[in-house]
Each structure stands twice: as C-alpha cells, then as structure tokens.
Structure 1
Amino acid sequence: MNEPARTPAGEILSSIMLDLFRLNNGLLTSGDRLVEGLGLTSARWQMLGAISAAERPQPVAWIARDLGANRQNVQRIVNDLANDGLVRFETNPHHRRAQLVVLTDEGRQAFEAAMCLQAPWVNRLADGVTVNEIKAAHRVMMKLLANLDDMAEAADPR
C-alpha cells in the first residue's frame, strides 16, 4: 500500500511531534513535583489557573472548551477541587443544570502560592533560549492550533 508523501514541513513536524509529547510529559511531571507540597497536581494547578483567568465564573463545559480538554475530565478535576474546598459551585442564572465554578479564598491562595513557585522554575526552564526564539515557537504553535481547529471544523458534519 502506498502511503501519501509528506511535504518537507510535514516531515519535520512529524519528527518534532514525539519530542513535543516528551516535553509535555516532562512539563507535567516537573509541575507535579513543583506544587506537590501545596497539595496540588499539574492538572489541578492548570484548572485553578483557567478558573482564575476567566473574566467571570464559567460552567465546566466552557472551562473545558477554553482548555481544549474533555469536559468529563475537567468535571472530575473540578469535583476534586470542590471536595478539597478550592472551588465552589454557584447557581447559573442562564442554565439550571450547568453550575458556575468559582474559586474559594483557599483556592485563590493555593493558585497564588503555585505561581510564586512557578516564576523561578519557568525562568530556569527558559535558560539558554532567547525571547525571540520563544516568540517564534509560540507563533508556530498558535498556527498549528489554528490549523487543527480548521481541520476539526471541516470534519464536523453539523
């Protein structure tokens, strides 16, 4: 069976993907270690960050959409955060069943403590990489995300 030929860009991107997976796994593992003393994991920290960054309280489905994550996975993590007193649910005036997720004072403190640990960690992670290199990598990642979104929209039969 003949496989379609990759373009030169597709060939290079294919070889980078395994490195990106390794980088992602390394970031998650390192993040877990960084916030372990705060009773957090990378996933919980990420969720607190998404909730904190939102302009107003959002339902789980919106948080999942903003993160590009599976709603059920986000719901599980948010439920764990609620059980630990880091978030609470409030009534959504626009939807009876989709409650809004709100940081508690304890959740805000935990997120702020994690971010204090993050600053020296991320500065060390960026050692040897210039600001322009990081900006170029960001532009490439954002273009790839846009292409993925375009592909998903084209494949959606709705």
Structure 2
Amino acid sequence: MTERQELLSGLAVTVFRLNGQFLDVAEGLARPAGLTAAHWQVLGAVTKEPLPVAGIARAMGITRQAVQRIADILAEKGMVEYLPNPAHRRAKLVAPTEEGLEAVRRIGPAHAAFADRLCEALGDDRAADVHRLLGELSTTLEALAAEEHG
C-alpha cells in the first residue's frame, strides 16, 4: 500500500471511530430527554426552519429513507408535524412541534456541559481548527464524489 493509501485508510478509520464516539455521546445526551441520537439529529435539523425529508438527509449525510422513518416516529410521538411545502406539492416539510422543541431544550444544559469539557480538554482554538479541518475534508470528499458522478 502506498503512503497515500495508508493515509486515506487512516483518515477513514479515524472518522468511523469518531462517528461512533459522537453517536455514543449524543445517545447519552438525548436519552434523558426521551430521545435517541437519531431523533435528536432530525429534530435538530429543523429547529431553525422546516425542511423536506430530502433536505434533512442532505444536511445530516444520511439516507432519505432513514430520515423518513425517524420523522414518522417523531410525528407519532407528537414532536414533529408535516406541513405543506409551497415549493413541492408532494414533499411535505418537517417542522418541530412545541413538544419537540422542548425535548431539544432539555438536552441543552448537558450539551453545554459536554461542549465545555471537550473545549477545555482540546483548547478552544484547537477545537475550532479541528472543526474547520473536518469541514474542509467533508467539502473535499463531496467535490470529489461530484466529479465522479458528474
């Protein structure tokens, strides 16, 4: 294997591990509010504005089918509702209900405490650098995928 192949493999394994670690943290933060990490992820995507399922999937990097399943569960629990979409008759908008927003608010204090612990452990500047670099990696992977499919 070339050095670049080893680097790519190392990046992938590290990101996969990070994904698992973030999911574990998110599960722990969401559980006391009666949510799962997946529920919180979908609710979090629509707290600022209602989005169609496809928009949530794009923003979160998960499949439309997974988002639809989770949105349906959240709708059954009364945490989101489906609204008409003026831009697309068949693709309804997912919007949080007051109950859904309250569940997200209940996560806030523990979320803030964990954010403080993480930033204190890494340092604020280093945490910001990691965030920026992960964003650059994501944008680059997206561009490379578009080149292949475009």
Q: Taking structure 2 as the reference length, what is the TM-score of the superposition?
A: 0.89
- Superposed CA RMSD: 1.8
* 2:20 paired with 1:25: yes
Q: Greater helix share, 1 or 2?
A: 2
* 2:38 paired with 1:6: no
Distance 2:130 2:28 in 1: 25
- Secondary structure of 1:88's counterpart equals strand
Residue in structure 2 matched with residue 143 of structure 1 by the alignment = 136
* 2:84 paired with 1:91: yes
Tell me which structure has the larger Cα radius of gyration.
1
* 2:44 paired with 1:49: yes
- The one of 34, 38, 41 aligned to 1:39: 34
Residue in structure 1 matched with residue 123 of structure 2 by the alignment = 130
Contact 2:33 2:104 in 1 (8 A): no
Question: What percentage of aligned pairs have identical amino acids?
Answer: 37
Q: How far apart are 1:124 and its partner, in Å?
A: 1.8
Residue in structure 1 matched with residue 53 of structure 2 by the alignment = 60
Q: How far apart are 1:90 and its partner, in Å?
A: 1.0
Q: How far apart are 1:34 and its partner, in Å?
A: 2.2
Distance 1:44 1:125 in 2: 23
Contact 1:45 1:114 in 2 (8 A): no
Q: Taking structure 1 as the reference length, what is the TM-score of the superposition?
A: 0.85
Q: Deviations over 1:58-116 (max 9, x none)?
A: 21111111222211111111111101000001111222211111110101101111122
* 2:102 paired with 1:109: yes
Q: How many residues are matched?
A: 150
Mark the runs of 5 or more structure 1 residues left unpaired by the alignment: none
Distance 1:37 1:132 in 2: 30
Mark the runs of 5 or more structure 2 residues left unpaired by the alignment: none
